[in-house]
């Protein structure tokens, strides 16, 4: 049974809602995600400017019929459905000139809650912390909102948004904590799984590569550790490890105090 709308952005956007699924699903998925990420709601003017932007005029809407905006709000309201206890639409009628999506469940927020619970368990010495981190990471289905690289979704570039950049960093952070806990427990397979998932989610971050380096070294696979170290160097567009940021270089130097072995790119 579907109750509250479920909005998933830890991968391609996915909506689970109780109401009638609209045609033009790609468009209405974007609208639902937009409302879900603006937790406190948005003004009618911002809603229009963000979803129907005027080319070359940031923050302004292009000319659209009022009926177009109203029909969009109506169809997303019908899709999101009504609260099973009160019968109130999850997308209110907007009589205060604001659009919002109430009581939605957002997977990135659940990931954060699970990560924080894992942190609290680590602080308390509870060995089940890894379970919370793993549960959080299993919410990840791929690159965060890959739709953002295509047509539309320009509002994600607004200063108050950037979930396409910020949420992958959250995944990397949760995975790094999982790696640390797993390594302490000697669970190299789980540590490697978490680091690889983080790398797939945010291939531009050094953290997963450094985690994979440490994991390989702890496993005694120094050839793979050496390869990962070079991948960090290349990802930063450097020639040698000494050119890396100090903290990054220190991690590599601690494992390879005599320097890296040469490898082919």
Write out pLDDT tens, residues 12-55: 999 999 999 999 999 999 999 999 999 999 999 999 999 999 88
**pTM of the shown model:** 0.91
Write out pLDDT tens, residues 66-86: 899 899 999 999 999 999 889
Write out pLDDT tens, residues 99-119: 999 999 999 999 999 999 999
pLDDT score of 141 = 96
What number of CA atoms fall less than 13 Å from residue 107's CA on the CB side?
25
User: What are the DSSP calls for 164-217, one per residue?
Assistant: HHHHHHHHHHHHHHHHHHHHHTT-HHHHHHHHHHHHHH-TT-HHHHHHHHHHHH
């Amino acid at each position: 049974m579907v109750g509250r709308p479920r909005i998933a952005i830890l991968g391609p956007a996915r909506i689970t809602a109780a109401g009638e699924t609209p045609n033009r699903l790609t468009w209405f998925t974007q609208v639902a995600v937009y409302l879900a990420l603006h937790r406190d709601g948005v003004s009618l003017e911002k809603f229009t400017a963000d979803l129907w932007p005027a080319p070359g005029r940031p923050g302004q809407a292009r000319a659209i019929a009022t009926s177009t905006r109203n029909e969009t709000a109506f169809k997303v309201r019908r899709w999101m459905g009504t609260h099973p206890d009160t019968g109130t639409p999850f997308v209110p009628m907007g009589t205060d000139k604001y659009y919002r999506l109430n009581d939605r469940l957002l997977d990135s927020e659940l990931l954060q809650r699970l990560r924080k619970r894992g942190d609290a368990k680590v602080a308390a010495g509870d060995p089940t912390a890894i379970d919370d981190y793993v549960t959080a990471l299993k919410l990840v289905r791929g690159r965060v909102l890959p739709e953002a690289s295509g047509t539309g979704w320009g509002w994600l570039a607004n200063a108050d948004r950037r979930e396409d950049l910020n949420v992958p960093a959250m995944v990397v952070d949760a995975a790094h904590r999982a790696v640390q806990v797993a390594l302490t427990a000697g669970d190299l397979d789980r540590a490697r799984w978490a680091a690889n998932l983080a790398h797939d989610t945010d291939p531009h971050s050094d953290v997963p590569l450094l985690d994979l380096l440490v994991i390989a070294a702890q496993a005694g696979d120094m050839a793979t550790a050496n390869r990962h170290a070079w991948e960090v160097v290349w990802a930063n567009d450097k020639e040698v490890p000494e050119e890396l940021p100090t903290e990054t270089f220190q991690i590599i130097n601690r494992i390879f105090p005599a320097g890296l072995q040469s490898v082919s790119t």
